[in-house]
Chain A
Amino acid sequence: MADGIPIEITGLSKHFGAVTAVDDLSFTVEPGRVTGFLGPNGAGKTTTLRVLLGLVRASSGTATFGGTPYHALPRPLETVGAALDANFHPGRTARNHLRVYATAAGLPSARVPVVLEQVGLAEFAERRVGGYSLGMRQRLALAYTLLGDPGVFVLDEPINGLDPEGIRWIRVFLQTLAREGRTVLVSSHLLSEVQQSVDEVVIISRGRLVKRGTLASLELDSAPRTIVDSPDRTALATALDSAGLEYDAGRSGFIVDEPDPGRVGHAAFVGGVELSALHRLKSGLEESFLSLVGEAPDESPGDASNGSPGDDPAEAPAAAPPVDEAPAGEEDAR
C-alpha cells in the first residue's frame, strides 16, 4: 500500500467563459481520516476534483498531492485512486474494463480479480457493463480506484445510486481506508448521505470555501431545537406563546427554538394542553449545512450536470426547513 499523501488546494480558480465555477479555493485534506467535500449541485465540487486530477486546467492556483500535480506523478494509479462519473464502455465486461486500465498503468492483471472481489462484483465480472445497475457501476468505479492500491482516494458522489446495503458497505469501506492511514476525499451534495462516514468536512458554495472543520464543529454551529405536537394545535400555540417560546409550524408539529424539551413540555403542562409528540430535533447538521451553503441559489455555475434539481438541498429555503424529513438526522431518512 502506498502512503497517504495530503491533498493541497491553493488559491484555485476556474472560469468557464464568464462563469466562475471555482473561486480562490484553498484547503488541505489530511491522511488518516475521511473528509467530506460538500456543497450543493453547481457549487464547483466536481470541477475542483477534475482540476486536482489533471482533467481540467485551472485558471489560476494549484491543486497537488503533497506538492506534486497529478500529471507529474510517476505512477498515478498507484498514488491516487479516483472515481468521477461512473462512465464505462457499455459493451465491455467489468473484467476487461479493469484489465485495459491495469495495462495502461503497468499494473499486473492479477489485480483485477482481487479488486472485483473487494467491491463484491466477482460474480458479475464477465457481464457487459451496459447491463449493470447504477449501484454496480458505482462499485466498478471503486474497483478502478483500488487497482493500484493507492494511498489517496478521490471519490465524486460515490454513494449516489447505492441501495441501503451498498451505503452501509461503503461506510465501512471508507472508514477502513482511512484507518489504514490513507487520504480519503468524498464529495456529496447531501450532508445526510455522508455524515455517518466522514470525520471532517470541507463545505463550498458557489465555488468558495464556507466551512472547514470536523463534523462535530459543524454540529456545534447549529442550536438544537424541539419538536412538539398536540391534538389541539390552537391550544398548543397559545401555550407556547404565553411561555414566550419562538416556533415555526410544520406538518408534524411545531419546531420550537428551545434546546430543552423539558421546558417546552412544561409550557404545555402550564397551558393544560395534551401532547402527542415531544422530542428533541436530534441533529441540526443538515440545517447547519443548508444555512452555510445558504441563500436560495438563482443560478448554479459549474458542475450542474449531476443530480436533478429536485434533490438539491440548496433549493429548500434555509430559514424554514421541512419538519418531516431532512432534519431528523440520526434516522437517515434517505
Chain B
Amino acid sequence: MSFFRALGAEFQKLLTTRMWWLLAILLAAYVAFMAGGLGALFSWLGANPDAAAESGSAPLPADVELAPLLYSFASSIGYVFPLLLGALAVTSEFRHKTLTPTFLAEPHRTVVLSAKLVSQLVAGAVLGAIGYAVSVGSAATALAGFGLETGLDSSDTWALIGRGILAMALWGGIGVGLGVLVTNQVAAVVIVIAFTQFLEPILRFAASLNDVTATVGRYLPGAASDALVGASFYTVAAFGGTETLDWWQGGLVLLGIALVTTAIGAATTWRRDVS
C-alpha cells in the first residue's frame, strides 16, 4: 500500500519538472538524426552502387541487414537518456535537499528507493518507446523512399523493437543505481557522459582485440545491451566478429547491474543522516 503511494509520488515528481521531456526531445532529435540521416545515406549507397563506388564510399557488407541496424539506434545510442533520467531522479533529491520532505512523508527509505527504481524502469520504457517510434519512423521512411526493405512486416523486427524498449527500461534502473551510489549530481552526470561516450566504446574496442578479454568485454553494460537488442551499429562498425551474449543473458546482465547497484546504495548512502 505505502509502496504504491510512494510510486505515485515518484511519477508525480518525474512529471512535474521539465527534465523528462527535455531528455525526451533530445533523444528524439538525436535518434532522428542518426537513424534517419544514416538511413538515407546507406539507402542511397545501396540503391546507387556505381555512384557510391565513384565517391569512394564502401557500401555495407552484403550480409548486413540495414533495417534492424538503423532501428536499433534508438537504444544503441539512446540508452544514455534513460540512464541520465534515472540518475537525476536520485541525485536531484540530494542536490535540492528534498530528501527531507520525502522521508518525512514516507519514513521507510527502502520503500522510497524501490518506488524510484520501478518508476524509472517505466520511464526508461517510455523513453524507449519514443526512441523506437522515431528511429523506425525516420529510418523506414528513408528505406521505403529508396525502395528498400523496411522489415516492418516481419515479426523479428517487432521482437527487436520490444527488446530495445526493455533495454531502455533497464537503463533507467541502472541510472537509479548509479545515482544512489554517486549522489553528487555533477559527478553522476560526468560519469554517465564519460562512461557511455568514451570509456565503454574504448573498452569494448580494446577488449575485442584479444580472445580472453573479448569474453569479459561481452559483459560490459553497453555490449550486454546490444546483445539484448540483437543489433547495433557497434557490432558492424568496429567490432564485427566478436561473439555477443544471448539476448536474455544481456538482459540479465543489465538487470543485475541495476539491482546490485541500487541495493548497495540502499545499504550505504540512502541510509545516511539527512542534514
Contact = CB atoms under 8 A, between A and B. Distances in A.
Interface of A: 46-47, 50, 53-57, 70-71, 73, 76-77, 80, 82, 84-85, 87-93, 96-97, 99-101, 103-106, 144, 303, 305
B136 interface: no
Q: Which 4 A-B pairs have the closest CB atoms?
A: A104-B9, A96-B16, A87-B97, A104-B105
B150 to A, nearest CB: 40
A84 B13 contact: no
B236 interface: no
A46 B98 contact: no
A71 B274 CA distance: 14
A88 B98 contact: yes
Interface of B: 1-2, 5-6, 8-9, 12-13, 16-19, 92, 96-98, 100-108, 273-275
Contact of B106 (A84, A89, A91, A105): A105
**Max chain A CB contacts within 10 Å: which of B8, B9, B12, B101?**
B101
Given A54-B103, A105-B105, A100 B9 contact: yes
B110 to A, nearest CB: 11
Given A57-B273, A101-B101, A104-B102, A71 B107 contact: yes
Given A46-B275, A50-B275, A104-B106, A96 B12 contact: yes
A71 B100 contact: no
Nearest to B16: A96
Contacts of B104: 53, 55, 76-77, 80, 82, 101
Given A55-B275, A89-B17, 4 more contacts: A77-B104, A105-B105, A106-B5, A144-B101
A70 B107 contact: yes
Contacts of B102: 101, 104
Contacts of A71: 107-108
A55 B105 contact: no
A87 B98 contact: yes
20 contacts: A46-B275, A50-B274, A53-B104, A55-B103, A55-B104, A71-B108, A77-B105, A80-B104, A84-B100, A87-B100, A88-B96, A99-B16, A100-B9, A100-B12, A101-B9, A104-B8, A104-B106, A105-B5, A106-B1, A305-B275
A59 B104 CA distance: 20
A88 to B, nearest CB: 7
Contacts of A303: 275
Contacts of B12: 96, 99-100, 103
Contacts of A101: 9, 101-102, 104-105
A71 to B, nearest CB: 4
Nearest to A16: B273
B105 A54 contact: no
A91 to B, nearest CB: 4
B275 A91 contact: no
A90 B96 CA distance: 8
Nearest to B112: A104
A68 B215 CA distance: 55
A56 B274 contact: yes
A113 to B, nearest CB: 16
A77 B8 CA distance: 17
Contacts of A104: 5-6, 8-9, 102, 105-106
A56 B108 contact: no
A88 B100 CA distance: 10
Nearest to B8: A103
